[in-house]
Amino acid sequence: DAGVIQSPRHEVTEMGQEVTLRCKPISGHDYLFWYRQTMMRGLELLIYFNNNVPIDDSGMPEDRFSAKMPNASFSTLKIQPSEPRDSAVYFCASSLARASGYTFGSGTRLTVV
């Protein structure tokens, strides 16, 4: 398996623009997670899905953030409009079961200028 695949690897955008981050989880993994990593706040859980259904989105910072999982092999995280404080590395991860380890993607480094 190619692992969890995220795209793009790097994204530089201007404040106010829409940003879409993409993730392909490992086939057969029932859970998908979106995390944000910054020096100040560490690894923050934004939202997670179980069998394509959003279970907990309490970590989504504002209404500017939205996430979808239209099928078992694809998820998106969208920020609209983007702001400089959204600059961070965004990770997607998937796991096989409720109490099992995550496989993380390589992350998307987002810079909003």
CB of 88 to other proteins, least distance (A): 13
Q: Measured between alpha carbons, how far is residue 38 from residues 49, 54, 71, 87, 108 in Å?
A: 22, 24, 29, 8, 12
CB of 45 to other proteins, least distance (A): 6
* Of the residues 43, 61, 83, 111, which one makes contact with other proteins according to CB under 8 A: 43
Residue 50 lies near other proteins (rule: CB under 8 A):
yes
**What is the Cα–Cα distance from 109 to 10, expressed in whole angstroms?**
5
Residue 93 lies near other proteins (rule: CB under 8 A):
yes
Q: DSSP letters of 10-52?
A: EEEE-TT--EEEEEE--TT--EEEEEEEETTTEEEEEEEEETT
Residue 107 lies near other proteins (rule: CB under 8 A):
yes
Tell me the window of 17-25, 37-45, 61-69, 70-78 that interacts with other proteins (CB under 8 A).
Answer: 37-45
Residues 60-89 that bind other proteins (CB under 8 A): none
